[in-house]
Structure 1
Amino acid sequence: MWPFPKAEKRIASDDPFLGQFLGARATGRADIEKASGHAVAHRCISVIAENLASVPLAVYRKTEDGGRDKATEHPLYGVLHDETAPGLTAFEAREWLLSSALTYGNAYAKIGRNGRGQVTSLSPLVAGSVTVEKLKTGRLRYKVAKADGGTEVLLQDEVLHIRYRTKDGILGLSPIQIAAAAFGLALAQQDQAGAAAENAFRPAGALVFPDKLAGTGKDSVIAKFKERFIGSLKANEVMVLDGGAKFETFQFNSKDSEFLDSRKLSNLDICRVFGVPPSVAGITDDATYSNIGEESRALVMRCLAPWAKRVEMAMTIQLLSPEARKTLFIEHDLNGLTRGDLATRYGAYRIARDGGWLSANDIRGFENMSKIAGGDTYAEPLNMGVLGANDNRSKLDNAA
């Protein structure tokens, strides 16, 4: 009804790119590309992506005795271990996918299969070029924008999709968007520090004239003053003021406004968002020799392990058929990241060797050494045995 317009139609979407395109606004907002380029954020993303991409990721086959063997003959083993796609190493592809999930909340890879339905390649896709639709059947459909302007349509079985925290089970949320207020503050402080650096950190001030400037004289004086003295390359220029003008500085600096301490707190907030200990991200203000080692272990247990499980579950469900999952599974080997120093490792090996649950060849395998003859035997201490097997009390009672 006039003068009111037609009823407004709204579309709810968690897609960050669609939201930015339509001009969505929120209380706290941070540009994803700019925020991921923040020094601390970049380091946190690199630490998680590089460390997790560097550890072995293999396909294992369950054995009848409850153990496991590497399924090296399976095509997927080479895809995850050696070459993910033609010309793309497994490390590069996994780092790409993890960085995408950490930055945008979603990581995509096109799945290539052989005639038997086994995965033979994984080609990562740029997160911003993929849109996801949920069909009436409940399955997902992916549309990939090509460089030539065309669109490639892929079905759910043709795409590996790794999500960060999700609200609808379709799209993941970017950690940067979830903590937009923290990132927005950190970026604002970074911009403020950059603006101060452009003026060589000279304090702001005021040009004071004894008389009122007529007409456009004020704007002209300001423009000439900026052109002559503002900028880091003009920090040591000689200032000559005539006409009774004086330059009075404002006595507020970064220390007085606790600007530097505020930036430190913002850097710690970014570490908290990604779950990375401060010393791992290069913040060593409170670091000591002992707590750095503890924080390195905390990185593996509290940050890398959940991300590893997220990737493993996505790959297991999307790359292995229900029948194959009965005997095969995908898993990271994080043991290399939790290894102690040489003395600590050898001390633990000695306990395991004396206890009888590790052989010499088991230990040599952990240290990347070849097997030795007779190294597969398991030792048992002479003072240990099955409970009651050497009990002679009943024999003594019978003899009595």
Structure 2
Amino acid sequence: MWPFSKQEKRIATSDPFLGEFLGARWQGRADIEKASGHAVAHRCISVIAENLASVPLKVYRKTADGGREAATDHPLYAVLHDQASATLTAFEAREWLLASALTYGNGYAKIERNGRGQVTGLSPLVAGSVTVEKLTTGRLRYKYAKSDGGTETLLQDDVLHVRYRTKDGILGMSPIQIASAAFGLALAQQDQAGAAAENAFRPAGALVFPDKLAAGTGPGSKENVITKFKERFLGQLKANEVMVLDGGAKFETFQFSSKDSEFLESRKLSNLDICRVYGVPPSVAGITDDATYSNIGEESRALVMRCLAPWAKRVEMAMTIQLLSPEARKTLFIEHDLAGLMRGDLTARYSAYRIGREGGWLNVNTIRGFENLSNIGPDGETYVQPLNMGLVGANDNRAKVEDQQ
């Protein structure tokens, strides 16, 4: 239609970074970098990343009897357990990968291989510097913007990609962007608290003059009075300044405190919302208002079962697919050992060991291994069996008694 020769074209995208760049607006918008620096959000990210990075992540080999054994001779074992790259330990690399996925929804690491195609190193990449493309073949291609200004192109087999929830199977979504309203409210409250602290938590007020002030910006004008008042009395370091008002001026405060507006309670609810987003129990994130001696232990176990276990499985599946070939996956698999996080106190552990020992499925050397103690030799490999348990008829002496009669 004249005078417009072209029709408007719209592009639908779920990429939050592209939406922010093009000026998209939505309610409760939250900046990822700023939101991840929120105290509760930072603690939730650290708890998940540090705990999962601290537990053993091993390559196991399936045995003929249906069991497993640690594949310590495989090159990937040392990468996941000891040193991931020339500059990063396995803990640091795994923590980086998890923190990136928890913050941006995507964690990337460049895969280094030897001449036989076996993985010999993992180098994490900065999430914001990686773009992902889907080729016509259905496979993915990654472009990494280096710090020196260059660009490196990597194929799907060269990148370990850990995603959070995804809509298109290509990019994961950031938890912060998914729950942007909750994070936006928490950040707004944090900014408001900072502004109140800057003014020493004094309520705002009004300067009341009996006569009309002069116009313009000169001496005695409204703008001039406001400017000089702010310079003299507003700010945390000027909280104890003596205020002298002449010419019939009065200062009337607006008595609207944080308690009246339930501001502190509202901030607590926002902190709980952030814990809900990441699935971290409040006491684990440092919110101990309702914590007791008994429920802290239950919340610690809930952290492992409801939060860490799903993230562990997410990482395990990504590593199994990207780091092991289809042929190797027939005999090898990757798995976290979360048993250490489920261990109770000394009394609870020893009670469990006693049950296992007396039940006949644990021996002394296995129990000592759980406690990081050396074995005691062949004597520790024996198993016991309760006297009232055994094969049916194995201890039946009736036949011998009848023969003697």
TM bucket normalised to smaller: over 0.9
Q: Which runs of 5+ in 1 are unaligned?
A: none
Take 1:252 and 1:308, find their aligned partners in 2: how far apart are those partners?
Answer: 48
Partner of 2:186: 186
Is the contact between residue 113 and residue 121 of structure 1 (CA under 8 Å) also seen in structure 2? yes
SS of aligned partner of 2:132: strand
Residue number among 348, 372, 386 corresponding to 1:381 in the alignment: 386
Deviations 1:66-100 (A, max 9, x none): 11100001000000011101021001000000000
Change in CA separation of 1:5 and 1:103 when aligned onto 2, cut-off 3 Å: farther
Following superposition, the deviation at residue 14 of structure 1 comes to 2.8
Alignment-mate amino acid for residue 21 of structure 1: F
1:335 aligns with 2:310: no
Amino acid at match of 2:225: V
Aligned-residue identity in percent: 83
- The one-letter code of the counterpart of 1:378 is Y
Farther-moved stretch of structure 1 (198-207 vs 365-374): 365-374
Question: Counterparts of 1:287 and 1:5 in 2: how far apart (Å)?
Answer: 66
- 2:290 corresponds to 1:300: no
In structure 2, the CA distance between the partners of 1:371 and 1:163, relative to structure 1 (3 Å rule), is same
Q: Please give the residue correspondences for 1:81-120 in structure 2 after superposition, counting only pairs within 5 Å.
A: 81-120=81-120
CA distance in 1, matches of 2:251, 2:271: 36
RMSD over aligned Cα atoms: 1.6
For residues 350-372 of structure 1, what are the alpha-carbon distances to aligned partners after superposition, in whole Å with 9 as ceiling and x for unaligned? 11011110010000110111111
- What SS does structure 1 have at the residue aligned with 2:203? coil
SS in 1 for 2:381: coil
Report the alpha carbon displacement of residue 386 of structure 1 after superposing the two structures with TM: 1.3
**Structure 1 counterpart SS, 2:107:** strand
**2:59 matched to which residue of 1?**
59
C-alpha distance in 1, partners of 2:20/2:398? 82
CA spacing shift, 1:64–1:13, aligned 2, 3 Å: same
Q: 1:355 is matched with which residue? A: 359
Give SS of 2:110's match: strand
TM-score of the aligned structures, taking structure 2 as reference length? 0.96
CA distance in 2, matches of 1:5, 1:252: 57
| Aligned residue identity for 1:68 | R
* One of 289, 312, 319 as aligned partner of 1:315: 319
AA at the equivalent of 1:114: N
SS in structure 2 opposite 1:9? coil
**1:105-164: per-residue Cα shift (whole Å, max 9, x none)?**
000000000111100000000000000000010000000011222211100000000000
> Matched residues in 2 for 1:113 and 1:141: separation?
18
CA distance in 2, matches of 1:9, 1:149: 32
1:20 Cα deviation from its structure 2 partner: 1.9
Following the alignment from structure 2 to structure 1, what is the Cα–Cα distance between the partners of residues 117 and 16? 33
Counterpart-to-counterpart distance in 2, 1:9 and 1:153: 30
Between stretches 78-87 and 381-390, larger displacement belongs to 381-390
TM-score (norm. length: structure 1): 0.97
SS at match of 2:392: coil
**Aligned residue for 1:272?**
276
In structure 2, what is the equivalent of residue 222 of structure 1? 226
Using the TM superposition, give the Cα deviation of residue 11 of structure 1 relative to its aligned residue in structure 2, in angstroms.
2.8
C-alpha displacement of 1:15: 2.7
Q: Gaps spanning 5+ residues in structure 2: where?
A: none
Q: Distance in 2 between matches of 1:166 and 1:209?
A: 60
Taking the aligned partners of 1:371 and 1:44, their CA distance within structure 2 comes to 38
**How many Å separate the matches in 2 of 1:387 and 1:171?**
59
Paired with 2:287 and 2:393, the residues of 1 have a C-alpha distance of 57
Task: Count residues with an aligned counterpart.
Answer: 400
- Report the CA distance between 1:383 and its aligned residue: 1.8
| Partner Cα distance (2:8, 2:404) in 1 | 100
Aligned to 1:22: 22
For 1:347-399, what per-residue CA distance to the aligned partner results, in whole angstroms no more than 9, with x for missing partners? 11011011110010000110111111211111112221013434567888999
2:373 to 369, 380, 384: 369
Deviation at 1:2, TM superposition (A): 1.8
* Contact residue 104 and residue 175 of structure 1 kept, 8 A: yes
**Whole-angstrom distance in 1 between the partners of 2:8 and 2:395:** 86
- Tell whether the 8 Å contact from 1:17 to 1:128 is kept in structure 2 after alignment: no
Match of 1:45 in 2: 45
Aligned to 2:31: 31
Q: Partner amino acid for 1:91?
A: F
Q: Which moved more, 1:376-385 or 1:51-60?
A: 376-385
- Superposition deviation, residue 6 in structure 1: 2.1
1:256 aligned counterpart, secondary structure: coil
Task: For 1:392 and 1:26, locate their aligned partners in 2 and report how far apart those are by CA, in whole Å.
Answer: 83
CA distance in 2, matches of 1:304, 1:377: 35
Q: Superposition pairs for residues 121-200 of structure 1, below 5 Å?
A: 121-200=121-200
The Cα shift of 1:254 comes to: 0.3
Please point out which of 243, 247, 259 is paired with 1:243. Answer: 247
Structure 1 segments of 4+ aligned residues over 4 angstroms from their partners = 391-400
Q: Which moved more, 1:3-12 or 1:175-184?
A: 3-12
Which stretch has the larger CA shift, 385-394 or 130-139? 385-394
Contact 1:100–1:107 at 8 Å: present in 2 too? Answer: yes
